[in-house]
Amino acid sequence: MNILIVGDIVGKSGVLKLQNCLKEIIPTEKIDFTIVNGENSANGKGIRLKEYEQILSYGADAITLGNHIYYRKEMASLYKTLDRLLLPANITNLEGNGCIVVEKNDIKYGVINIIGRACMGDIIEKNASNPFDKVDEEIEKLKKKNVDYIFVDFHAEATAEKIAMGYYLDGKVTGIFGTHTHVQTADEKILENGTAYITDVGMTGPINSIIGLKKEVGLNRFKTGKYFKYECSENESMFNAIIIKTDDNTKKAISIKRINL
């Protein structure tokens, strides 16, 4: 199987880039299953029903989220009702799907979303339980549903926490990938027990921006140490993703390839 995983979609420009790239990549790379991180798709902050439907209509099979889950207040009661949307499983004060199963062409794909606790800000650090314990619980849930594959989006800031999670899940899942930093890392690998790993998939969002934020706003924030209101950049986007190829018999990962368009 060929699994496409796309890094955080940022704003309108990112959504448009996703549409154009999926149209091309899904057929040419013979993609069987696509996971997209949509946590910044609604003008840089969270996701609305509109983006949820758009992203699925472009060919995504599952949409993961991250720390922006509190921003779109109207979504709080909807998260759990959307069967292709995941919320980090270890978030304790919002209801949503921490893991989902998508059956496609007789294959059962399990997807888990989990969030880190190191350097993630007060709200997340206060409202997220231990991601290592929680991911084990979610894996057990998926195993009981007889899934063929499990993929984990670990939405986290700290490189070391993500690497630790990679080793923790080696052999337990087919792929574990990091999201959130919006910068693609060059450390993709197949771990010792057949799990594909990358610290961060990167961002599908505006190239000339500070991780999606308008350059001027980001620069002012850092230079003055003061708060300037978030403004999502509308510049042309890049596309950051990975493709994991799996062995259909062993269900382990054979290769992991980075895409940066």
* Residue numbers annotated as active site: 68
Q: Closest separation between CB of residue 211 and Fe ion, Å?
A: 8
| Nearest approach, Cβ of residue 5 and Fe ion (Å) | 14
Nearer to Fe ion, 32 or 39 (CB): 39
Q: Which has the closest alpha carbon to 151: 5, 50, 23, 1? A: 5
Binding to Fe ion, residues 23-62 (CB under 5 A): 39-40
Q: Residue for token digits 């849930």?
A: 141
Q: How many residues bind Fe ion (CB under 5 A)?
A: 6
Residue from the set 14, 46, 66, 98 that interacts with Fe ion by CB under 5 A = 66
Which DSSP helix (H) or strand (E) runs through 14?
A: helix 11-28
Helix (H) or strand (E) holding 190: strand 189-190
Q: Does 17 bind Fe ion (CB under 5 A)?
A: no
Q: Is the CB of residue 243 less than 8 Å from the CB of residue 257?
A: yes
Q: Which residues of 144-160 are buried (b: 16+ CB within 10 A; e: fewer)?
A: eeebbbbbbbbbbbbbe
* Binders of Fe ion in range 173-192 (CB under 5 A): 180
Residue 205 beta carbon to Fe ion: minimum distance, rounded to whole angstroms: 8
Nearer to Fe ion, 1 or 115 (CB): 115
127: amino acid identity, one letter:
N
Nearest distance in Å: CB 12, Fe ion: 15
CA distance 245 to 251: 10
Q: Amino acid letter at 20? A: N
Candidate segments 6-14, 45-53, 69-77, 216-224, binder of Fe ion by CB under 5 A: 6-14
Q: Which of 73, 88, 167 is nearest to 120 (CA)?
A: 88
Q: Which is nearer to Fe ion, 45 or 84 (CB)?
A: 45
Q: Which is nearer to Fe ion, 215 or 251 (CB)?
A: 215
Q: Pick one of 6, 7, 8, 253: the residue that binds Fe ion (CB under 5 A).
A: 8
- Report helix angle 49-57 to 11-28, nearest 10: 20
Backbone angles phi, psi at 82, to 5 degrees: -95, 110
Residues 143, 71: Cα–Cα separation, whole Å: 32
Q: C-beta of 120: minimal distance to Fe ion in Å?
A: 8
The 110-139 site mask, x for binding Fe ion (CB under 5 A), equals ------------------------------
Among 67, 113, 199, 204, binds Fe ion (CB under 5 A): 67
| Residue 197 identity | Y
Name the residue nearer to Fe ion (CB basis): 38 or 59: 38
Residues that bind Fe ion in the complex, under the rule CB under 5 A: 8, 39-40, 66-67, 180
